[in-house]
Amino acid sequence: MRRALAAGACIALSSQLAGCVTHTQPDAFFQLTPESAAHRSMQTRMFETKDETELLSASAAVLQDLGFQLEESVRGVGFLRATKERSAREYGQEIGRFFLGLLSLGKSRIPVDFHQKIAAMLIARPIDQKGARQEVRIMFYRVVWKGDGQADRQYLTPGEQRMEMLRDPVMYQTFFSKLSKAVFLEPFAL
């Protein structure tokens, strides 16, 4: 009897979750936009080093310095994935929410962004036959959860979510600047 109830609960839960997913046409994932080349050049740098292990080690250290926690590392293919969690509340959203609540006499509540998980994925690979030059590409993206946040003294769990690429050039410049310094200093570390 318990197994039947557990199976029924799993089926009901999976049917509810399937209804929440927005489907994107597969063709949309592979379409290049006019900005694609600019984004790729912002995300990619070349390094003159033969040691891919030291480059990955320096990349992991830079990500940790930026507040990320390493979640996955596959040295054989030159892959790193790191994340950090932050509040996503923005001043403008709170003001808009306040005025809408004021105009609707408190009867209408709009959800706001209130939690985010920022992730970084890094790939390092040799780009010449000798392995003396390495290409590093990093992509930053975030998943943002919306919700009412807090009602009275009760905390409300996140609801709707969305994922978006982060295209702030300063973020990428900061990472590569720190990585350049770390790669230069890495061979001389004691």
Q: Tokens representing 46?
A: 């070349």
- The pLDDT tens digits for 4-59 are 444 444 444 444 444 444 444 556 656 788 888 899 999 999 998 888 889 999 99
- The pLDDT tens digits for 133-189 are 999 999 999 888 776 555 445 455 556 778 889 999 999 999 999 999 998 865 554
CA angle 158, 161, 166 (to 5 degrees): 120
The H or E element that residue 144 is part of is strand 133-147
Count how many domains the chain has.
1
33 pairs with which residues across the strands? none
Looking up tokens 């001043």 gives: 91
CA distance between the termini of the chain: 64
Q: Is residue 55 part of a domain?
A: yes
pLDDT, residue 63, reads 97
Phi, psi of 91 (to 5 degrees): -55, -45
Q: Is residue 1 part of a domain?
A: no
Q: Is residue 59 part of a domain?
A: yes
Confidence of residue 109 (pLDDT cuts 50, 70, 90): low
Domain hosting residue 88, numbered range: 34-188
Q: Is residue 14 part of a domain?
A: no
Q: Which of 16-30, 60-74, 108-122, 174-188 has the highest mean pLDDT?
A: 60-74
Q: Is residue 161 part of a domain?
A: yes
Q: Is residue 20 part of a domain?
A: no
* Span of 103-107, 128-132, 142-146 with lowest mean pLDDT: 103-107
Which residues touch 39 (CB under 8 Å, ≥6 apart)? Answer: 165, 167
pLDDT, residue 184, reads 80
CB-based burial label for 80 (10 Å; 0-12, 13-18, 19+): buried
pLDDT, residue 11, reads 46
What is the pTM (predicted TM-score) of this model?
A: 0.69
